[in-house]
Amino acid sequence: MSGPEAGALAALGEDNLVLRAARRLAAQFGVPPRAALRLDKRLPAASGIGGGSSDAAAALRALGMLWGLALDGAALAVAAALGADVPVCLAGRPAWVGGIGDSLTPLPDLPPLGVVLANPRRELPTPAVFRARQGSFAPAPVARVAIAGQQSLLALLRGTRNDLTPAAVALMPQIGPLLSRLAALPHAYLARMSGSGATCFALFPDRLAAARAVGRLAAEEPGWWCAAGELLSGPPPLMPAGRGATGRAPPGQAPP
């Protein structure tokens, strides 16, 4: 392991999600668990943005190519057993998510909105948030609603909420002011908490506007973790065809 956030995983030893994913995949397909893996950890741990889940999914994709495995239903079962966020990270594209994370309905590319992520540098374990949550979950939006562009996506999001926010704020009151700060940034469309917190995000017209907002936020709050990016778009990552695959990309296509 390496990277600026690797220290947070040191206590896990050989029980981090990447190694768990590798061992489960090998056991599922009956292949020798032989590979050299390096995790470059750059996202804060226990921050509600699926960092560990995306690391596990990346390991599954890489090992699927290395070992010549089809990442189909059997691999999806492995992903779901690792965590509710892992299947959609394995798919690597926008999707409606249902069930316990294992029911995925693909969506077209999301509009190229900029996104700002901010975390007050405090871990908020997901189990604690779920234990603190009270009441029922809000009804899901109408499935398969069309997302034609920025405004239709924003309209959809403005009509929804994160049901875990009140419980997370009760455990970590700093989340409330963090959401207000993000919503007040120039050109911010809306702000929400990500997952079970404590990371929150805001959407912007484009990546440049998000980068400018991060520069301002980082200068005002040097102790926070902040990052800018863009909503996921483009084709899904290359997936192996099945046993016997070489792991090489088709002609003209870069490997993931």
pLDDT digits (tens, 9 = 90+) for 57-69: 999 999 999 999 9
Average pLDDT over the chain, rounded to whole?
85
| Homologous superfamily in CATH for domain 114-230 | GHMP kinase, C-terminal domain (3.30.70.890)
pLDDT digits (tens, 9 = 90+) for 105-156: 888 888 889 999 999 988 888 889 989 998 877 776 655 567 788 998 898 8
205 in Cβ contact with 211 (< 8 Å): no
Q: Where are the alpha helices (DSSP H) in the chain?
A: 17-29, 51-67, 73-82, 86-91, 126-132, 150-158, 165-171, 175-183, 207-220
The CATH class of 6-106 is alpha beta
Give the residue extent of every domain in the chain: 6-106, 114-230
**Confidence (pTM):** 0.82
pLDDT digits (tens, 9 = 90+) for 19-67: 999 999 999 999 999 999 999 998 888 888 889 999 999 999 999 999 9
Q: Which amino acid is at 46?
A: A
